[in-house]
Amino acid sequence: MDTQPTYQVGELTAYIKHRLERDPALQQLRVAGEVSNLTYHGSGHVYFSLKDAQAQISCVMFRSQAQSAPRMAAGDKVTLIGDINVYPPRGSYQLVVQKVEKQGLGDLYQQFLELKARLQKEGLFDPAHKKALPPFPRKVAVITSPTGAAIRDILRTLQRRFPPVQIVVIPAVVQGVQGKDSLVQALDEAQRSEAEVIILARGGGSLEDLWNFNEEAVARAIRASQLPIISGVGHESDVTIADFAADLRASTPTAAAEHAVPDQSALLQQLSAFEQQLQRGLQHYIDFKRQVLDDYTHRLQQLTLSFLGQQRHQVEILATQLAGLDMTQLLERGYTLSLKAGKLQTSSQDLQAGDEIETIFADGRVSSTVQTKKDFERPASPTDSAL
């Protein structure tokens, strides 16, 4: 029809791409089917088709997603999560896969939930059962595969954080059908290792890969352990029954090693800080006490000198009083004293003519006899006189 515009191929493909990639129903979708034409490319990308009886769709999984996805084989029944996109050079549409769930996984997950619920109800995960970790373990037992990244990460972390720690590695099969018994046996062996804490670890993997850590026998062996157990299984997001049963769940093997031993350099820093605080505290105490002592010394001196001053004042008051009673000074100035029979005479009225008296001078005494006497008329007191 003449009214219809004529597109170039590129324009049409761009329009189709736009329509498909903007359709929410085609983004983050889940699709189930069987894997075929599978190629793990040298670049790390994975190319395959997903098919069922009626149709097939091209799929690509890029390297970054492929690394953490379970390994697939042709014929596997899988559920894929991803986005539909259009690849213009080939005029094809494809599913860009973000996540692969192998079928049967749903069954495993169901088992996981059931076991978790049952053991939880039984009290196997009760926080009251959790054993405290020793703050400074002398020996750490590590249960994991003797090969692989997990053991390397753990040994490196333990030695970096706390060089003096002794490490005993108890090798275990951590994947496959022998794993369950191997882990239970390793846990039993760890009890006799003289370690003070156990690290139970495994590197990342799919749910199936980690399945041994979801076994009931392993969970019970963990709970039965006399020694505290730190689990470090898989990546951050992987949680296993073993994690719930363990005394402490660490997110990764490295994190488990970090929890197992203290950080020696941090401890030394803290120790050094304590030492400084102690010295400063002691210095402050000494300074304070010295100040108190200075204060007391000053008061002691003041009180003593003040007391001596008071005593001296007392002495001087008495000395002045005594000086006022010094009769020799009177005699020196020419006054004399009269005695009769050794008694000082203070009134002429006490003497009669003929009395023997003694007169005292500053420089001697003379004896004489009273010849005459004349008493002075004393001025009358105001009360006696009618003025």
Partner 1 sequence: MSDAPFSLEEKLGRLREIVAQMQQGISDFDQQMKLFQEGTTLVNSCREFLDKTETSVQQLIKGEITDFPHTGL
Q: Interface residues with partner 1 (CB under 8 A)?
A: 301, 304-305, 307-308, 311-312, 314-315, 318-319, 321-322, 325-328, 337, 339, 342-344, 346, 360
Query: Nearer to partner 1 by C-beta: 333 or 343?
Result: 343
Q: How far is CA 288 from CA 104, 274, 282, 319, 380, in A?
A: 76, 21, 10, 46, 77
CB of 346 to partner 1, least distance (A): 8
Query: Nearer to partner 1 by C-beta: 367 or 385?
Result: 367
C-alpha 312 chain-centroid distance? 66
CA atoms within 13 A on the CB side of 53: 0
Work out the widest C-alpha separation in the chain, in whole angstroms: 187
Query: Nearer to partner 1 by C-beta: 224 or 305?
Result: 305
Q: In terms of Cα–Cα distance, which of 137, 143, 164 is closest to 154?
A: 143
CB of 297 to partner 1, least distance (A): 8
Query: Nearer to partner 1 by C-beta: 13 or 345?
Result: 345
Query: Nearer to partner 1 by C-beta: 284 or 298?
Result: 298
Q: How far apart are CA 376 and CA 364, in angstroms?
A: 27
Q: How far is CA 141 from CA 58, 202, 254, in A?
A: 48, 14, 14
**DSSP annotation of 130:** P
CB of 165 to partner 1, least distance (A): 57
Q: How far is CA 63 from CA 41, 47, 155, in A?
A: 9, 11, 29
CB of 285 to partner 1, least distance (A): 24
Query: Nearer to partner 1 by C-beta: 37 or 329?
Result: 329
Which residues have CB under 8 Å from 105's CB, separation 6+? Answer: 207, 208
CB of 348 to partner 1, least distance (A): 16
CB of 295 to partner 1, least distance (A): 15
CA atoms within 13 A on the CB side of 23: 13
**DSSP annotation of 147:** S
Query: Nearer to partner 1 by C-beta: 224 or 327?
Result: 327
Query: Nearer to partner 1 by C-beta: 280 or 313?
Result: 313
Cβ atoms of residues 42 and 48 within 8 Å: no
CB of 319 to partner 1, least distance (A): 4
The vertex-224 CA angle with 247 and 229, nearest 5°, equals: 30
- In the chain, how many H helices and how many E strands? 10, 14
